[in-house]
Amino acid sequence: MRFVRECVQNVLVGGVLVVLPIYLALVVLLKIMQSLAPVVRPFTRLLPAWVPAEHLLSLVLVLLVCCLIGVAVRTRLGHRLRERLETALFERLPGYGLFRSLTQRLAGEGRENVWKPALADMGDGLVPVFIIEEFEDGRCTVFVPSVPTPFAGAVYILSGDRVHALDVPFTQAIQAISSWGAGAKALVAAMTKAER
């Protein structure tokens, strides 16, 4: 019974971690579009009546502003400003650093050595894990994701000899976990290749 309850909790938490950011992003996008409606209303007369011009132009304006901010952040001044804002405001929010690291890894831009795919020796077998932190004495903090929801799970501190880092893309490890283990053969092959 306890196992079933823990599985349901892990799946529910994992689902919330996927759905909630998408929902919040859509709510914010719609609110911004709604606030821009008075700005674009004079231009709606230029388009045919059957086109939802107000919504369409608001969306285009939001996307244009996002593009301009994206370009500005890539400049030296914009990069410094973003880092200051991140340090002063966002890093104080609980979980922000973890989600930033995770999204960077999903995008293939992870600069930090976190969420590194690995296999851990957990008694009877190997378990797919992600290395979160490595200690000076050789131990590792690992995140053991639940199946099939890789963004919920448990955290363990294991000795370094029980953790086998893998030279595989982060997305490949996530795919194996979310596919109920299909693809784990490639993870074991990567571990065997690294140990030779």
Question: Per the domain annotation, does 29 fall within a domain?
Answer: yes
| Beta carbons within 8 Å of 96's beta carbon, 6+ residues apart | 90
Same domain, 124 and 83: no
Domain shared by 6 and 87, yes or no: yes
Q: Are residues 73 and 134 in the same domain?
A: no
Domain-located, residue 99? no
Highest mean pLDDT range out of 65-69, 90-94, 150-154?
Answer: 65-69
The pLDDT of 80-105, averaged and rounded, is 71
Q: Which amino acid is at 39?
A: V
**DSSP 8-state secondary structure symbol assigned to residue 192:** H
Q: Around Cβ 184, how many Cβ atoms within 10 Å?
A: 17
With CA atoms as reference, report the closest residue to 161 among 108, 105, 130, 121: 121
Look at residue 155 and tell me if it is in a domain.
Answer: yes
Lowest mean pLDDT among 19-23, 57-61, 136-140, 169-173: 19-23
Q: At what angle do helices 76-88 and 53-73 cross, to 10 degrees?
A: 100
Phi, psi of 152 (to 5 degrees): -130, 150
Condensed to tens digits (0 to 9), the pLDDT of residues 29-80 reads: 888 888 888 887 777 777 777 777 787 888 888 888 888 888 888 888 888 8
Identify the pLDDT of residue 157.
92
- In this model, does residue 193 exceed pLDDT 80? no
Q: Give the sheet arrangement for strand 153-158, strand by strand.
A: 153-158, 140-145, 126-134, 116-121, 163-165
Instruction: Kindly list the distances between the CA atom of residue 189 and the CA atoms of 96, 102, 166, in Å, as whole numbers in the listed order.
Output: 34, 25, 9
- Closest by Cα among 21, 14, 8, 17 to 153: 14
Choose one of 58, 92, 126: the last residue of a domain: 92
- Domain co-membership, 141 together with 176: yes
Domain-embedded: residue 108: no
Domain enclosing residue 123, as ranges: 116-195
One domain for residues 148 and 185: yes
Residue 173 amino acid letter: A
98 within a domain of the structure (yes/no): no
Helix axes of 53-73 and 2-40: crossing angle, nearest 10 degrees: 100
54 belongs to a structural domain? yes
Residue 57 lies in a domain: yes
Instruction: Indicate whether 77 and 156 sit together in one domain.
Output: no
Residue 157 lies in a domain: yes
Strand partners, 135: none
Q: Do 88 and 20 have their domain in common?
A: yes
Q: Which of 76, 92, 108 is the last residue of a domain?
A: 92
pLDDT at site 66: 83
Number of folded domains that form the chain: 2
pLDDT of residue 120: 92
- Shared-domain flag, residues 7 and 86: yes
Query: 40 φ, ψ to 5°?
Result: -90, -10
Give yes or no: residues 13 and 83 share one domain: yes
Shared domain for 85 and 160, answered yes or no, is no
